Amino acid sequence: MITCQHCGVQLEENMNYCPLCGQPVEKEKSPVSGPVRVRTRETFPKRYSRIYQLNTTQKRKLIWEVTSIILLSGILGVILLNLIFNQSLTWSVYPLVLGLSVFAYITLIIYWTGKRWKKILGSFVVTFLMLFFIDFVAQGIDWALLVALPLLLGTYGIGLALYLVAHRMKYYGFNLLAYLFLGLAVLLMLLEGTLSYYHHNALMLDWSIIVLISFLPVDAVLFYIHFRLKKNPDLKKIFHI
């Protein structure tokens, strides 16, 4: 039992305040042997520094290192499993090509800090090489040049055209949706034309023309709404985003 230092009432061990006088209980403190060491921020090892203390270059390097270790570990694991069960590289070639392509994309995005068109050109080259090697491993060089290359050129060309159109826009409203539908229709025409020429050695357009004709009235309505609402043509303001 302990006693209150102010009124002399006996208190229990777990009491922090005296129930009679309301004064805080002064408990005897156990003696501390030796000096007390207080660890400050300077005493912590530097390896435990937080990520937010890194600059942009260091963060980019850290992200690249972590993703590279994960990708390369996964690729090596898949190759080892393929060699163990098949004694040769068979199905593991496809994840190998895909993993190396993702690694090239990440390296391109993180370390290539030059002009934007160089990144676009680099991504085009990486994508084509990935499809080329997949075609080469599967059947020899078959569809990579006749199908993949035209579709890639068309996709990047349509994307570049949409980017230039959007860059010249003063307001991003319903007109942006109209241009996106138009670009999608052209891309579907390119897809059907490329596949028909690959399979039949002739350019035949059927269902893509129907899609284009179906999109034209929708585009007309979107353009009308956009130019009709001149006072408030921005999608963010219309939908209160």
Tokens representing residue 85 in the block: 């069960």
Cα separation of 97 and 101, whole Å?
6
Burial track 190-222 (b if 16+ CB lie within 10 A, e otherwise): bbbbbebeeeeeeeeeeebeeebeebeeebeeb
- The residue among 183 and 22 whose pLDDT is bigger is 183
Q: How many helices (H) and strands (E) does the chain have?
A: 7, 2
What interhelical angle do 93-111 and 56-86 show, nearest 10?
Answer: 170
* pLDDT tens column, 122-171: 889 999 998 898 888 877 778 888 899 999 999 999 999 998 888 888 77
Residues 6+ apart with CB under 8 A from 204: 192, 193, 196
Provide the whole-model pTM.
0.63
Residues 6+ apart with CB under 8 A from 83: 89, 92
Q: Please state, rounded to an integer, the average pLDDT across all residues of the chain.
A: 80
Cα separation of 94 and 241, whole Å?
43
* pLDDT tens column, 160-169: 999 888 888 8
Res. 91: pLDDT tops 50: yes
* pLDDT tens column, 77-87: 999 998 988 88
Cα separation of 4 and 25, whole Å?
6
